[in-house]
Amino acid sequence: MKNNKKHSKKIGSVLARVSHFQCYIGFAWLALCSTAAPASTTVSSMQDTHYLAQGWEHETRQQLSFTSFGSRLIPYDWFIVLEQANNPALFRDPAHMSALGFIVAAADKYNPDGLPIGVVRDKDKKHGDYVGLTCAACHTGQVMINGQRIRIDGGQALIDFTGFETALVAALQATLEDTEKFARFYSNVRTAPSVSAIASASLTTQALQVQMHGRLQQLQQRLENNKTDVPYGHGRLDAFGQIFNAIAVEALNMPENIHSPNAPTSYPVMWDASHLDLVQWNASAPNKEPGPLFQNAITALAVYGTIEIKKEHLTYSSSIRINHLADLQKAFYQLTAPRWPQEFAGKLDETKLVAGEKLYQQHCVECHTHVDAADKKRKLRAVLTPVAEVGTDPLMAHNFSQRKVKTGVLEGERSMVLVGKKFTAEASSLDLVTHAAMGTLLNKPWQTLKTIVREYHSNLSADTPSVDSYKARPINGIWASAPYLHNGSVPTIYDLLLPAAQRPSQFYVGNIELDVIKVGHVSSAAPDTSFFDTGLPGNSNAGHEYGTALSDEERWALVEYIKSL
């Protein structure tokens, strides 16, 4: 503990410098800005995919798609050779991963094994390499328009997160139970290029089985901790609920803290997020530094990052790649919204645009302000609307604000590690998660400080973050982010402009074909899609009845204008 106290003083000094530096590092924004997006909507076409002008070079896109932030799912060599549960085809086979909603990608220097977008290798000389997920897995979209595939950088992914986890657990279990399948797996792991001759010789079948059993049990327990009565399906995840369980249950080893993560939301789009004063669907996170670093560290812990919380340790070791978080944040600051691709989806109707703009000014702009993407230093403010006023499903916001858990070994520790009130026997889940993130960042103080300096940009100060409101953000590029509302309960923009009682109550999610008329994904039944029932808890499509009294002619005009944003 004596060493810990010395470490505490050192960290306290660093924290003071962080606060002091925030007054002087405004110059850092220069490194974060990129040139304005080209006037053309299409930047390039590669293989069978078109890319829109969103402020990224292809090099940036690929780097971000395969940069690990410390997610560790299973050993990398296992994943490369793992077979599917019911057949000998590889788990990572493009057809299989595509069915789970992932975007397949060709091999290149950032992705030598040709893994899907956002499925990455976390390199670790001490513990061995792992496969994990990174931001791009959940925040890259794609649409099909008249047979043309278009990538949406920072867009809304349609991955089936629980389906992916369940299939992976099934594959590991089948490999252990099937003698022939395990024999192939064992042989391929031993001969993997990354396995040294010494390691290969020492890897016995029994040792590998023990390792697999251990990891399988951990993954099975995680699935059990996060089970819900309402399926997520494609394109949704209760990220807050799962990170609360990751810290309050797994890291603290307290099963009594389990709460069902039963309020899944759509994966939010990332363009302009770095420029807002508040982020998250419920506007719960301020976006001035070090806020973004905290948010990204928490995300890393949520997506299979590791953390060791021990009573005798002042700070916590983790797998978080703090320096990589700066790379990710800097790139997303450059990102701009995709413009309606007229060369693929059809030209916009000028007459409807004029009428639609007037309607937008009357019914929408008060909450959904315009964005000047050419302004590289744009500072945006989100509009907060209380849950009771907007009328949309309240479960996500209420879970966030009302969930309490036992603190266990953290009882008596300060909420912000070095400062703040001491935890009593019970605390909010958010306070525990924030404490854990602070503990991991302070474990590597100089990396943390350098990351704040590298990723710094000037944002508007926010009032006290909301916990029982939903955020209305600028809706530029909304054509590429269906389905709509925070919980993905409305399939198209046209449907959102209808009174809630007239919106579809059941539809399918996962089809990337764009409905260019109503604007959203085609929502009829198709292979590899998920059934969405708005009658289930957390799935309500009620509320947001703004502009719903328009005539049908006016409604179509407004849809046309929204396409252009």
At residue 228, the 3 state secondary structure works out as: coil
The stretch 450-477 carries a mean pLDDT of: 88
The stretch 535-558 carries a mean pLDDT of: 97
The stretch 27-54 carries a mean pLDDT of: 56
List the one residue out of 404, 563, 385, 378 whose CA is nearest residue 468: 385
Residue 258 has pLDDT above 90, yes or no: yes
**C-alpha distances in angstroms, 20 versus 70, 249, 285, 453?**
29, 36, 22, 11
Share of the chain above pLDDT 70, in %: 90
- pLDDT band at residue 467, thresholds of 50, 70 and 90? confident
Integer Cα distance of 379 and 458 in angstroms: 8
- pLDDT band at residue 198, thresholds of 50, 70 and 90? low
The stretch 135-151 carries a mean pLDDT of: 96
Residue 162 has pLDDT above 80, yes or no: yes
Residue 41 has pLDDT above 60, yes or no: no
Q: What is the pLDDT of residues 73-97, one digit of tens each?
A: 999 999 999 999 999 999 999 999 9
Share of the chain above pLDDT 90, in %: 84
Residue 49: CB atoms within 10 Å: 16
**C-alpha distances in angstroms, 424 versus 191, 415, 421?**
52, 10, 9
Integer Cα distance of 188 and 142 in angstroms: 33
- pLDDT band at residue 465, thresholds of 50, 70 and 90? low
The stretch 129-153 carries a mean pLDDT of: 97
DSSP string, 140-200: EEEEEETTEEEEEET------HHHHHHHHHHHHHHHHH-HHHHHHHHHHHHT-TTS-HHHH
So what's the pLDDT on residue 126? 83
Q: What's the 3-state SS for 364-413? A: CCCCCCCCCCCCCCCCECCEEEEHHHHCCCCHHHHHHHHCEEECHHHCCC
Q: What is the pLDDT of residues 366-377, one digit of tens each?
A: 999 999 999 999
Residue 335 has pLDDT above 80, yes or no: yes
So what's the pLDDT on residue 44? 62
So what's the pLDDT on residue 116? 97
Q: Residue 509: beta bridge partners? A: 530
Contact 451, 433 (CB under 8 A): no
Q: What is the pLDDT of residues 286-305, one digit of tens each?
A: 898 899 999 999 999 999 99
Integer Cα distance of 539 and 218 in angstroms: 29
List the one residue out of 37, 61, 43 whose CA is nearest residue 376: 37
Structure tokens at 457: 């940009």
Which of 20-29, 261-270, 351-360 has the lowest average pLDDT? Answer: 20-29
So what's the pLDDT on residue 56? 96
The stretch 55-72 carries a mean pLDDT of: 95
So what's the pLDDT on residue 511? 97
So what's the pLDDT on residue 464? 65
So what's the pLDDT on residue 125? 83
The stretch 351-371 carries a mean pLDDT of: 96
DSSP 500: G
Q: What is the pLDDT of residues 223-246, one digit of tens each?
A: 999 999 999 999 999 999 999 999
Residue 25 has pLDDT above 90, yes or no: no
Residue 31 has pLDDT above 80, yes or no: no
Query: Which segment, 34-48, 187-201, 277-291, 342-356, is predicted with the most confidence on average?
Result: 342-356
Type of residue at 97: M
- pLDDT band at residue 247, thresholds of 50, 70 and 90? very high
DSSP string, 427-462: EEHHHHHHHHHHHHHHHSHHHHHHHHHHH-------
Residue 336 has pLDDT above 90, yes or no: yes
Cα 441 from chain centroid (whole Å):
20
More confident residue, 20 or 288: 288
The stretch 411-430 carries a mean pLDDT of: 95
Q: Give φ, ψ of 85 to 5 degrees.
A: -60, -40
Indicate the average pLDDT of the chain: 90
Report domain extents, the chain.
Answer: 1-32+270-337+378-470, 60-237, 342-372+482-564
Q: Which helix (H) or strand (E) holds 122?
A: strand 119-122
Integer Cα distance of 548 and 496 in angstroms: 8
- pLDDT band at residue 39, thresholds of 50, 70 and 90? very low
Structure tokens at 476: 């530029």
